Structure 1
Amino acid sequence: MTELVFLQDMLILLALALANAWLFSRLKQSPIIGYLATGMLVGPYGFHLIKGLHEVEVLAEIGVILLLFTIGLEFPFARILRLRRLMLIGGTAQVALSIPLIWAACRFLGLSNGAAWALGMALALSSTAIVLKLLIEQGEMDTIHGRVSLAILLVQDLCVVFFLVLLPFLSEGAGQFSWLAIVNAIGLMGGLSLFVRYLLKPLLRGVLRTSSPELFRLTLLTLVLGTAWVTSLAGFSLALGAFLAGLFLAESDYSHQAMADILPFRDTFLAIFFVSMGMLVDVRMLAHSWHLVLGFLLVLSLLKIGTAGVAALFARCPLRVSLAAGLILFQVGEFSFVLLKQASSLGLVDPQPYQLALSVIAMSMVVTPLLVPRAPALAATIANLLGHKGGKMEAETLERTANLEGHVIIVGYGLSGRNVGGILHEMQIPHLFIELNSESVRNGRRDGEFIVYGDATAPPVLEELGIKRARALVLAVNDPGALSRAIRAGRELNPDLYILARTRYRAELDYLRDLGADEVIPDELEASLQLSSYLLRRFGIAEGRILQHLTQLRRAHYSQLRSPRQGASTEAPTLSVLEGGQVEYQAVPGDSPCLGRTLAEMAFRSRTGAMVLGVLRRERTLYNVSPDFQLEQGDTLILLGNDEEIQRVRQLLHGICSWEKTCE
């Protein structure tokens, strides 16, 4: 009967979790909120629908183990090095500022020293799961504030491991730990490293040779749970062992497959973990002391916004980006539940502050999906109210921009921006870059580019760049919020400015066009056209027909965005040239009877009807060839004509038709 009771508990738990997750997803909220709500309903402080609390906690512990393992997998040293500056400065500063301030506030409220430090470590963390999900959904993962937030979250996730190790030292039983335990921990890490390098990799290689996905997944689960068990025997947490297993496996060739196979298990057990955390929240205390919960939530949120913002400023980010990062990281994270539970089991935190902290964490997660999507716009508004100009221009930069006229301002020094700048350089058109990433600015200046550090959404910065005298503004950035604000600012400052913008999705075309963009190039559309062109070439479709169809599609998609002052579409001349014909490349055979003859001698145009646009010869393209042009071995003709005319050219070049009559 015990098994049936547990089965009934799990059925109730999973059914309600599914229903709440679906409901909150329909409301465009995170499913995590649904899981927390489920725990509050079924837990001992709610309707007490779950009897086997211990069994649920065991399953939740497995969820934490798998979460730490995947975080270790996501921490290859190459990724850490890419964000090393933001992590070392911004992430470290956020943690170093938050913990002492929360500790001081807890001590002011009369909590013990151990409880204050435990709460400081727990509440300093933010939610990696919720924030990254929201940033990815909004397409802001590659923005400046997205990278800053990611760097701080990575440092916080790394700190969780050290916090789990430090918590026992804050309890009264800390005397049982000694330097010998630390030596044992170092030996454990060394042993795990040797095991992964010399035993695990050959083992996984042999498992993969069996071509059995089930065997590989079973090996992974055994590795994760086994490593967690070994670290627990050494006196450390299960989660620490799982993190170490993922960290050491991240550098192997099997990390991506391991991540793909472990994710379904992790997400399932994590849902149970969040439900179990919701079960710990005393709903009666939350209802009775809601004003205290809201008050502490407001104070804690302001503190975390301030510390994350100051940390981003330490990393030399502009005020707008720093405020956006602070607003994104205001909440308390999922690992805070883990740390608080560990602190409670060690006797560090009394029941009343423990319950109050749990309620604050749950409420901060509920508010997060409401605030994060609005964070960039809210940060820009606050920065403008504070009189922020988006970056102070150097005297040399101001002197150079004062002499520019009819130039192009390129926002963003990524791949798209650099390509545009390279073409403008070849055409000798004056231009400059503006970029918020200080590392990109240094790289650009090292490459000899005229690049300015500043915020292109700030009108004073655009004025200093001479936007009123500029001819065009090119927006090659991935930040949707910054894109819209830059378009609006550029149009207000210079009504005659040509604004060319890049966006990810076609759905944003009308919105950006209404803001004042002249042309909007969606990555989504252009990528699909490129895929189509490669596929058609693979099927042997003539280059001219491919070009014609792609041009027609572009005209159909972009014609609705043309402003009245632009007049006809820029694709119209291309279509008129190709009307009824196609561009085709035709190599001259090595044994062709046409070699050594001129186009006039062959009466090429009158005999075939096709026009020679150019000739590819020895890696050079020769245009405007005259009737006296003589064909040589290795030439490739660039032809314009219909299918019949192209076929006549092939017959002529291969000697199928005679010289005395027109090719048929």
Structure 2
Amino acid sequence: MTTISLQDILILLGLALAIAFLCRLIKLSPIIGYLMTGLLVGPYGFHLIKGINDVEMMADIGVIMLLFTIGLEFSVSRILRLKGLLLKCGSTQVILTGLLICGLAVMAGLPMRTAAVLGMALALSSTAIVLKLLLEKGELDSAHGRIALAVLLFQDLSVIFFLVALPLLGGQAREFTLLGVAGALGLLAGLFVFSRYLLQPLLISVLRTRAPELFRLTILFLVLGTAWVTHLAGLSLALGAFLAGLALAESDYSHQALSDIIPFRDTFLAIFFISMGMLVNVRSLSDDGPLILGLFLLLCLLKALIATLAALWARFPLRISLLSGLILFQVGEFSFILLKQARSLYLIPEHSYQITLFVITLSMMTTPLLFSRAGVIAERLAGMLSNRKESWSDTEEEQTANLQGHVVIAGYGLAGRNVARVLRDMQIPYIHIEMNGEIVRRARERGEFIVYGDATSRTVLERVGTGRARALVLAINDPSALAGTIQAAREINDRLYILVRTRFVLDLDRLYEFGADEVIPDEFEASLQMAACLLRSFAIPEGKTLKLIASLRQEHYGGLREPAVPPADLAGYLSVLEDGRIEFRPLPEHSPCMGRTLAELQFRARTGTMVVGVVRKERILYNPTAEFSLEEGDTLMLLGAGEDLDRARQLLHGELSDSPVDTPVS
């Protein structure tokens, strides 16, 4: 048996680096580059690598690392947060896709065992590619992003069960004797006890050494050791790695463990995909080209349709459901793992194996290309297919018909709820549009005025009275939906004030061109809030902070608009705050100031502060005159420097002498 040499490793890594770099330049996943590297260096390519068995052994380590990181990311809180979508969308997609593919394979004349393997492997989508593309476009928190995440998480969980099921399909069920089952349960129980009671003290002891390399070695030993223990129990190495990750997921050290293991995982996982590329026989493409292309198209249509139906069952609008289907149509990296194990168990013939590998590779290669156009395709398909009217109750029809001068809020997330709270306090009528049916149901139980629908739909906008509305607030996490909603709303009501929230500054010009009146970018506003908090920690006067932040905001937004708007000079507006701050000070009970006017108290002369307003019975009275009399329950809005505000507090509590400060009375 030929062993791998240093020359083989250099050829392997050098070609992988070059091809993955080229794939990155043309916006393809590096996984495609690794598969192509395997095609070139493998026995069916130029046969540049001699020690293929050693490459496969390193590939197994990559699979172990991958399953460990999946276990680390499967925290209980994350699963509970998406439990509704996991159970509805995830289970529907995996079960329906697996059963249909299995049935079609049996109809095509394949053995039942092979059909079951294909059903399990091809039901999976690519977690690595889809999540990467969603993160790059900032759509992970959008409706279709949450659906995709839920489906992918359920698929990742399903992989564990598939890995356990494959040996049973391979006729190894006879090895599961009563003694063997007892031994497996004993080893797993020991693993549980170790992770529950011994793992934390062990990691704490290692961390006390302040040697990062010892922590990394401990994590590597834990991963490989757990995989070995489960292998002794008659289960797969990958299952053991997943259990090790799950044991660490809820600990305080999971994030550090993940960051330490990722470089090892990515390196060995690249070798895994190269090894899979080595197994692909390029000659099968020339012999079975039409068959491979036909199966590829059929599989993609089938998976996209089932993912769409799964999202519809979770009561998402048609456009969002179609968009989810279009980004989950491919087959994923875990499918290679399942097929490789199935091949070693003789569950799939070589010819079927080669054809399936080509179909998987084609689906992964086309994913970035379709992803960039998925939003447009989904919108057009939804427009063609949705001829039916939205089903609204008589109560909703009556309520929306009576709306006038209201605010339409698209989205019921944190931003949408906060805007609604402000409007409710000011007694301004509003209505929510939300596309998640479960969220709509819960919001109605709390008494919210909310309707189910897609804000990009002109029909939905008309039904909520956008033509009679005063303003539209877009507080949604779907960047692809913003432009369409703005255009539709502007066509319905050209006097509508449209306020848009976006995640990125780069979207400003585009959204203004579509007709938005004001666009608030999250990343810029968050940076201003961080700067303000930092200045306060340095005890910078509030006035200077407000002036600087206001100047930055005006300068930034003015510079981003095309044509550029020259920033306003805010010095005239905020110069009074230059060295001071605003403070709210309630009038204490039994204060000697009760019932006396500001003139009688000589408030400005004695304290150096100015009363710019008084909050009385939930109303704000600005710029009170010298004859304004203080009453029980008043809260004073004071403007002044720190020392002056201290004197004002003493005056309100009856602790200040009658001597005035050196401040002219205004």
Same fold flag (TM > 0.5): yes
Aligned partners of 1:134, 1:661: CA distance in 2, in Å?
A: 64
TM-score by length of 2: 0.89
1:136 equivalent to 2:135? Answer: yes
1:390–1:458 CA contact under 8 A, matched in 2: no
Deviation at 1:56, TM superposition (A): 1.0
Q: 1:75 to 1:644 in 2, by over 3 A?
A: closer
Which residue does 2:417 correspond to in 1? 418
Deviation at 1:619, TM superposition (A): 13
Which residue does 2:574 correspond to in 1? 578
SS at match of 2:295: helix
Which residue does 1:296 correspond to in 2? 295
User: What RMSD, in angstroms, separates the aligned Cα atoms of the two structures?
Assistant: 3.5
Q: 1:639 to 1:170 in 2, by over 3 A?
A: closer
1:610–1:645 CA contact under 8 A, matched in 2: no
Aligned partners of 2:643, 2:340: CA distance in 1, in Å?
A: 80
Structure 2 alignment gaps of length 5 or more: 586-591
Q: 1:284 to 1:657 in 2, by over 3 A?
A: farther
Which residue does 1:30 correspond to in 2? 29
Deviation at 1:224, TM superposition (A): 0.8
Written as runs of structure 1 = structure 2, the 5 A alignment for 1:176-575 is: 176-178=175-177, 181-387=180-386, 391-559=390-558
The code of the aligned residue for 2:194 comes to F
Deviation at 1:241, TM superposition (A): 0.8
SS at match of 1:80: helix
Aligned partners of 1:623, 1:198: CA distance in 2, in Å?
A: 62
Between stretches 205-214 and 85-94, larger displacement belongs to 205-214
Aligned partners of 1:30, 1:191: CA distance in 2, in Å?
A: 40
Aligned partners of 1:337, 1:200: CA distance in 2, in Å?
A: 32
1:112 equivalent to 2:108? Answer: no
Deviation at 1:257, TM superposition (A): 2.1
2:102–2:115 CA contact under 8 A, matched in 1: yes
Residue by residue over 1:394-435, the C-alpha shift from the partner in whole angstroms, topping out at 9 and shown as x without a partner, is 222111101111111101111100010001001111101111
The code of the aligned residue for 2:484 comes to R
Aligned partners of 2:628, 2:616: CA distance in 1, in Å?
A: 12
Q: 1:74 to 1:458 in 2, by over 3 A?
A: same
2:315–2:436 CA contact under 8 A, matched in 1: no
Q: 1:602 to 1:98 in 2, by over 3 A?
A: closer
Q: 1:438 to 1:186 in 2, by over 3 A?
A: farther
Q: 1:662 to 1:151 in 2, by over 3 A?
A: closer
Residue by residue over 1:610-635, the C-alpha shift from the partner in whole angstroms, topping out at 9 and shown as x without a partner, is 75424799999874333256999xx9
Aligned partners of 1:29, 1:533: CA distance in 2, in Å?
A: 41
Q: 1:220 to 1:610 in 2, by over 3 A?
A: closer
SS at match of 2:516: coil
The code of the aligned residue for 2:269 comes to L
SS at match of 2:5: helix
Q: 1:105 to 1:605 in 2, by over 3 A?
A: same
The code of the aligned residue for 2:211 comes to S
SS at match of 2:519: strand
TM-score by length of 1: 0.89
The code of the aligned residue for 1:210 comes to T
The code of the aligned residue for 1:577 comes to Y
2:584–2:638 CA contact under 8 A, matched in 1: no
SS at match of 2:49: coil
The code of the aligned residue for 2:261 comes to I
2:408–2:472 CA contact under 8 A, matched in 1: yes
Which residue does 2:97 correspond to in 1? 98
Identity over the aligned pairs, expressed in percent?
59
SS at match of 1:501: strand
Between stretches 58-67 and 192-201, larger displacement belongs to 192-201
Deviation at 1:188, TM superposition (A): 3.6
Deviation at 1:246, TM superposition (A): 1.2
Aligned partners of 2:289, 2:323: CA distance in 1, in Å?
A: 28
2:509–2:562 CA contact under 8 A, matched in 1: no
2:455–2:485 CA contact under 8 A, matched in 1: yes
Aligned partners of 1:610, 1:389: CA distance in 2, in Å?
A: 65
Aligned partners of 2:495, 2:613: CA distance in 1, in Å?
A: 38
2:89–2:147 CA contact under 8 A, matched in 1: yes
The code of the aligned residue for 2:241 comes to A
Residue by residue over 1:319-376, the C-alpha shift from the partner in whole angstroms, topping out at 9 and shown as x without a partner, is 2222111111111111111111111111111111111101111111111111123223
The code of the aligned residue for 2:169 comes to L
Deviation at 1:377, TM superposition (A): 2.6
1:318–1:390 CA contact under 8 A, matched in 2: no
SS at match of 1:468: helix
Deviation at 1:457, TM superposition (A): 0.8
Aligned partners of 2:165, 2:657: CA distance in 1, in Å?
A: 87
1:318–1:391 CA contact under 8 A, matched in 2: no
Residue by residue over 1:85-142, the C-alpha shift from the partner in whole angstroms, topping out at 9 and shown as x without a partner, is 1111211111111112111221222211111111111111111111111111111111
The code of the aligned residue for 2:160 comes to V
Which residue does 1:591 correspond to in 2? none
The code of the aligned residue for 2:487 comes to R
1:584–1:638 CA contact under 8 A, matched in 2: no
Aligned partners of 2:639, 2:195: CA distance in 1, in Å?
A: 62
Q: 1:640 to 1:319 in 2, by over 3 A?
A: same
Q: 1:245 to 1:631 in 2, by over 3 A?
A: same
SS at match of 2:329: coil
1:586–1:636 CA contact under 8 A, matched in 2: no
SS at match of 1:452: strand
2:607–2:661 CA contact under 8 A, matched in 1: no
1:57 equivalent to 2:56? Answer: yes
SS at match of 2:372: helix
Aligned partners of 2:390, 2:244: CA distance in 1, in Å?
A: 44
Structure 1 alignment gaps of length 5 or more: 589-594
2:314–2:437 CA contact under 8 A, matched in 1: no
Aligned partners of 1:158, 1:381: CA distance in 2, in Å?
A: 34
The code of the aligned residue for 1:213 comes to P
